[in-house]
């Protein structure tokens, strides 16, 4: 028996088969109307299925009947047993990851011994039959889906298939009771199969954790996953549901019963919207909010990362899954959130959910066996987002040196000089000249501020912004730019950007940053800015060539700055954090406008996108 800690990890981590490993003890107790036991041994290139069935299945599933004397015809029993082998080979299906049915070969039939006097009606349950089926693989399978369709017309109870599966390299079987058309998918790790029965608790814990990392936490292929995100600007509910389970709720029309093609997925998506809009109500601050469907994607088994938008193709009904992302807008930071799950049936009896409320992680379970399936969240005291303020200074510190020329006063000065010249030449008396000089002097003083003309002082250079101050100013402006994207509303982002950016650059910069934050692998989702790191920054020399696109702005006090920085953005879905680092090298012009420093020009010299790194939330 696996130790208790390992068993605990199976339950906590929802191991890929959702089956607790066992030492292989047989099932005990009474059997339903029809029960087939399947011992399956999977190697890299073959699956051997040993079946044990009660002979009464020949009556239930093959339709044999007792003769008038109350006994079965012995030859008919033998023939029906052989027919039953073909029936099981058809109804017990092993499917590839793409949902393709593998052909089964009947390699052995173990007939039950028929007494000489025959078998009386009602006694077939005392006899068992044995069958061996084989399924070949072209290459070691990572996934095998098992589906059983043993359904007989008129049966009160469905046939059940008790699966005990072993992977070569491990002595630990995995068990599952399967009903018709409730497929189960098994994952095989050929490099690191399940441990043997003598493994320690620590070994099992380490193995389960490695499997969890390999599958990015999505380890069950028949379970419904729920992830609830509560943020400053929205509540988001992400649901991952097997296609077979969804089909138990909805009529998913399709031409091929085994697959849902692309056009049929479009029709199914509309039904899914109606389905989730009519159930699972969400209330924010006491008000029920209808969902906006951000994405409805259809996935095959080959995709582990459900945050990556899948390539559209037909999907197997037996092992396909549907990812639904619903967002609920908030008016400011939510103070209370309630999420209810009320969509249950025989295929979906319980749903495990993980809630990410800001930096807090909680787990909850919705189940049809509870009367209240509502998760409640209340906000605690959280610091408000600090407002974004511009960088101000006294503009007079960096004003261009000018010469003030009082034109009227200069005119009176010219008259004064003429008068003095006339007196020197004897054209007027000295008394008259003196009176004229005094009058011109007084008039010049009186009109000193009338018609004053300013001109740049050619003898004094404009004060330059010290390099230390330029670096400090730019660092704050640069930080403000990206802090503006803490907001999600476009108007709020614009208003925040306007504190640090001016002119036509405002809209251009907004569009450039939004584009840089989009993660193509996530279907164009805009990532959150996690960190901006200035790698290097240097004030440019005063004589650096400036664009004249701003016209008169070239005369404003300012400075040029070249900066290299890393922009780290993250997108999170399904408990996966996708991080990308973009690198930039750009030249900026910073100008003083109404006592406030603003970036007026930006020229990107180089930019590069790094790879997306995926990490898994611990929950």
- The pLDDT, as a whole number, for residue 218 is 75
pLDDT score for 486? 83
Cα–Cα–Cα angle for 253, 100, 215, rounded to 5 degrees: 95
Give me the pLDDT at residue 86, please. Answer: 96
One domain, residues 415 and 521: no
Neighbours of 426 (CB within 10 A): 8
Among candidates 476, 480, 596, which has minimal Cα distance to 537?
A: 476
* pLDDT at residue 443, rounded to an integer: 64
Q: Is residue 592 in a domain? A: yes
- 295: nearest Cα among 323, 272, 314: 323
For helices 201-214 and 4-13, angle between their N-to-C axes, nearest 10 degrees: 20
Task: Among 393, 425, 456, identify where a domain stops.
Answer: 456
Residue 148: burial class (beta carbons within 10 Å; 0-12, 13-18, 19+): buried
pLDDT for the residue numbered 77 = 94
Cα 208 from Cα 214, distance rounded (Å):
10
List, for residues 191-212, the tens digit of each pLDDT value: 988 888 888 888 888 888 887 7
Angstrom distance (rounded) from CA 96 to CA 1: 31
For residues 325 and 364, membership in a common domain is answered with yes
Do 229 and 132 lie in one domain? The reply is: no
Tell me, yes or no, whether 167 and 254 share the same domain.
Answer: no
Domain hosting residue 234, numbered range? 225-378
Model confidence pLDDT, tens digit, residues 442-465 = 666 666 666 655 666 565 556 678
Residues 317, 260 share a domain: yes
**Which residues, including other chains, have CB under 8 Å from residue 59's CB and lie 6 or more apart?**
65, 124
pLDDT of residue 390: 86
Residue 543 has a pLDDT of 63
What is the pLDDT, as a whole number, of residue 6?
41
Predicted local distance difference test score (pLDDT) of residue 82: 95
The count of structural domains within the chain is 4
What does the pLDDT read at residue 440?
67
Q: How much is the pLDDT for 374? A: 96
How are beta strands 160-167 and 35-42 bridged, if at all?
A: parallel
Burial of 105 by CB count in 10 Å (0-12 exposed, 13-18 middle, 19+ buried)? exposed
pLDDT digit string, tens, across residues 329-380: 887 789 999 999 999 998 899 999 999 998 889 999 999 999 999 999 998 8
Residues 374 and 229 in one domain: yes
Q: Does residue 329 share a domain with residue 286?
A: yes
Which parts of the chain sit beneath pLDDT 50? 1-32, 548-552
Q: How far is CA 293 from CA 220, 270, 326, 501, 526, in A?
A: 24, 10, 5, 34, 16
| Pair (233, 161) in one structural domain | no
Phi, psi values for residue 138, rounded to 5°: -75, -25
Strand-pair partners of 129: 53
């Amino acid at each position: 028996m696996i130790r208790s800690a390992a068993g605990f990890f199976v339950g906590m981590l929802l191991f890929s088969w959702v089956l607790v490993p066992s030492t292989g003890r047989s099932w005990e107790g009474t059997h339903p109307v029809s029960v087939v036991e399947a011992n399956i041994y999977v190697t890299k290139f073959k699956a051997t299925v040993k079946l044990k069935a009660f002979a009464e299945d020949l009556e239930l599933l093959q339709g044999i009947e007792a003769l008038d004397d109350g006994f079965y015809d012995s030859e008919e029993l033998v023939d029906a047993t052989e027919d039953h082998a073909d029936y099981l080979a058809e109804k017990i299906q092993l499917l590839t990851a793409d949902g393709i049915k593998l052909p089964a070969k009947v390699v052995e039939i173990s007939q039950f011994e028929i007494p000489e006097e025959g078998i009386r009606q009602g006694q077939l349950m005392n006899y068992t039959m044995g069958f061996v089926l084989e399924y070949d693989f072209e290459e070691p399978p990572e996934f095998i889906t098992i589906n059983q369709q043993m359904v007989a017309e008129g049966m009160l109870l469905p046939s059940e298939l008790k699966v005990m599966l072993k992977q070569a390299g491990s002595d630990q079987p995995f068990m599952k009771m399967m009903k018709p058309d409730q497929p189960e998918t098994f994952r095989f790790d050929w490099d690191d199969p399940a441990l043997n029965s003598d493994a320690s608790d620590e070994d099992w814990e380490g193995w389960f954790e490695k499997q969890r990392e390999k599958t990015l936490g999505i380890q069950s292929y028949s379970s419904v996953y729920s992830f609830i995100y509560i943020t400053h600007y929205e509540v988001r509910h992400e649901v991952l549901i097997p296609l077979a389970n969804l089909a138990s709720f909805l009529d998913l029309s399709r031409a091929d019963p085994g697959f849902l093609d692309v056009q049929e997925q479009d029709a199914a998506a509309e039904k899914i919207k109606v389905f989730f809009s009519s159930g699972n109500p969400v209330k924010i601050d006491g008000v029920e909010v209808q969902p906006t469907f951000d994405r409805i994607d259809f996935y095959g088994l080959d995709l582990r990362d459900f945050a990556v938008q899948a390539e559209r193709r037909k999907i197997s009904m037996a092992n396909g899954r549907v990812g639904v992302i619903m967002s609920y807008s908030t008016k400011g930071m939510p103070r209370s959130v309630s999420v209810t799950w009320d969509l249950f049936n025989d295929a979906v009896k319980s749903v495990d959910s993980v809630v990410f409320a800001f930096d807090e992680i909680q787990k909850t379970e919705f189940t049809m066996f509870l009367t209240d399936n509502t998760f409640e969240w209340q906000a605690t005291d959280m610091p408000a987002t600090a407002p974004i303020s511009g960088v101000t200074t006294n503009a007079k510190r960096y004003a261009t040196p000018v010469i003030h020329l009082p034109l009227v006063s200069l005119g009176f000065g010219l008259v004064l000089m003429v008068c003095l010249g006339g007196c020197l030449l004897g054209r007027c008396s000295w008394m008259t000249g003196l009176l004229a000089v005094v009058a011109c002097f007084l008039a010049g003083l009186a009109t000193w501020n009338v018609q004053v003309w300013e001109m740049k002082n050619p003898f004094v250079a404009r004060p330059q912004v010290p390099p230390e101050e330029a670096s400090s100013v730019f660092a704050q402006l640069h930080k403000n730019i990206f802090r503006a994207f803490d907001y999600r509303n476009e108007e709020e982002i614009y208003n925040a950007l306007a504190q640090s950016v001016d002119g036509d650059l405002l809209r251009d910069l907004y569009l450039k940053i939004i584009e840089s934050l989009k993660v193509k692998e996530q279907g164009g989702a805009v990532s959150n800015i996690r960190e901006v790191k200035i790698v290097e920054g240097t004030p440019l020399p005063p004589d650096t060539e400036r664009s004249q696109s701003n016209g008169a702005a070239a005369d404003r006090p300012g400075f040029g700055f070249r900066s290299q920085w890393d922009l780290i953005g993250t997108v999170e879905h399904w408990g996966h954090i996708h991080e990308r680092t973009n690198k930039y090298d750009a030249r900026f012009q910073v100008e003083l406008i109404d006592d406030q420093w603003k970036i007026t020009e930006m020229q990107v010299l180089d930019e590069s996108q790094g790879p997306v790194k995926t990490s898994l939330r611990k929950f």
